[in-house]
Amino acid sequence: MNIASNCLRIENLSKKYVSEKDKVVHALGSTTIDIKENDFVCIVGPSGCGKSTLLRIIAGLEAATTGKVFFYGKELKEPTRDIGMIFQQYSLLPWRTVEDNIVLGLEFRKESNAIKKEAAEKFLNIIGMGEFRNAYPFELSGGMQQRVAIARALANDPKVLLMDEPFGALDAHTRILMQRELLRIWRDNRKTILFVTHSVDEAIYLADKIIVMSSRPGTIKKVIDVDMPRPRDRSNVLYGAMSNEILNMLDDEINKGNNYKIEMQDF
Ligand SMILES: Nc1ncnc2c1ncn2[C@@H]1O[C@H](COP(=O)(O)OP(=O)(O)OP(=O)(O)O)[C@@H](O)[C@H]1O
C-alpha cells in the first residue's frame, strides 16, 4: 500500500519496557496498521496487551523499541499538534475555568485573545456548555468534564484524535450520550479517530473498523470492518453477531493468560 495515501501508518512498531531492576516487559509485539483519513478506528484487546502504549507512542509520549509512525507519509519523530490525545481521567487543570481549560493549547501557542475567544465560543457551543464557561472542574459532573477535555483537544484543531478509554469512568447512561456526541463531533469536524476501549459494544457502536489485539505482547489478531449504517441499532441481529464474534476472540486470548478483563457491559 502507498504510505502517503494513509493518514497514519504504524509500521512494525514494538515496545519493550525495561524496569530499574532490568526486568523486561514485552508490551507490544511487532504491529503494522494503516489508517485512512476520517476513519473511526476502535482498538479492543485484553488488559495489558499494549493498547495505551501504542497510543502513547503515536502521540510521541513514549519511544518505540522498533518501528516507525508515518503521518501522511512523513515519519513522525516528535509530538505534533496535529495529533491530540484524550485520556480516561479528564485531566483538566482544576484552577482554570471551563473556558480557560478549552483554550489552554492556544495559549501555549501564544494565539491572540480574539482567536482564543472565537475558539472558546465555537467549542463551548459544540459541547453544549456555554452556560458553564466560568465554572471550575470541581463544579462539573464526570461527563461534563470529559466534554471539556474533548473540546480542549478539538480547539487545537488536530487532524487525529487518540482517545484512551475516554468514557471508561462514566456511568452507562452518560457513556451512551457521550458516544452519540462524539459521533456528531467526528462527523461535523472530519477527524481521524483512534479510540481504545474495553467495551466491545462501544467499539461496534462507534467504529468503521475494529482492531482486535492479542494478549501481551499485543499484536493485531484481526481487523473487522463494521459495515452497518449509523446510528447503529444495538438490537440489530448483526450487532449481536459481531459482538459475539469479538468476545469469542477475546475469550481465546484470555484463555492464553489469566489476568485479563473484558467489559461485558450491555450484554
Ligand atoms: N512505563 C512502564 N514501565 C514498565 N512497564 C509498563 C509501563 N507502561 C506499561 N507497562 C506494561 O506494559 C504492558 C502494556 O501496558 P498498556 O498500559 O499499554 O496496556 P493496555 O492494553 O492499555 O492495558 P489496559 O487495557 O489494562 O489499560 C503492561 O504489562 C504494563 O504493565
What residue ranges define each of the domains in the chain, with the CATH number in brackets?
1-80+158-167+185-267 (3.40.50.300), 83-155 (no CATH)
Confidence of residue 173 (pLDDT cuts 50, 70, 90): confident
Q: HSE of 81 in the Cβ direction (CA atoms, 13 Å)?
A: 10
**Range 42-50 average pLDDT:** 95
111 C-alpha vs ligand 1 centroid, how far in Å?
A: 36
> Distance of CA 103 to CAs 9, 118, 127, 167, Å?
30, 10, 14, 22
User: Quick one: which atom of ligand 1 is closest to the CA of 28?
Assistant: 14
Regarding pTM above 0.95, the answer is no
pLDDT for 263 beyond 70: no
Q: What share of the chain has pLDDT > 70, as a percent? A: 94
pLDDT for 26 beyond 90: yes
Element (H, E) at 181: helix 172-189
* Torsion, Cα of 8, 241, 220, 89 (10° steps): 70
Q: Which residues pair with 212 in a beta bridge?
A: 44, 222
- 216 touches ligand 1 (CB under 6 Å): yes
Question: What is the pLDDT of the chain when averaged over all its residues?
Answer: 90
Least confident piece of the model among 35-39, 79-83, 169-173, 210-214: 169-173
- 17 touches ligand 1 (CB under 6 Å): yes
- 53 touches ligand 1 (CB under 6 Å): yes
- Among 13, 17, 163, 165, say which to mutate for ligand 1: greatest number of ligand atoms within 8 Å of CB: 17
Q: Burial letters for 96-135: b for 16+ Cβ neighbours within 10 Å, e otherwise?
A: ebbbbbbbbbbeeeebeeeebeebbeebbebbebeebeee
Q: How many CB atoms lie within 10 A of CB 89?
A: 14
Q: Is the dihedral of CA 31, 34, 37, 40 positive or negative?
A: negative
Instruction: Show the cell assigned to 179.
Output: 458516544
- Going by alpha carbons, the residue nearest to atom 1 of ligand 1 is 17
Nearest-angstrom CA–CA distance, 53 and 162: 12
Nearest-angstrom CA–CA distance, 186 and 193: 8
**Amino acid sitting at position 61:** L
- Reported in sequence order, the residue ranges of the chain that DSSP labels E, i.e. its strands, are 8-18, 24-35, 40-44, 66-71, 74-75, 83-86, 160-164, 192-196, 209-213, 220-225
- Going by alpha carbons, the residue nearest to atom 25 of ligand 1 is 47
113 C-alpha vs ligand 1 centroid, how far in Å?
A: 40
pLDDT for 135 beyond 70: yes
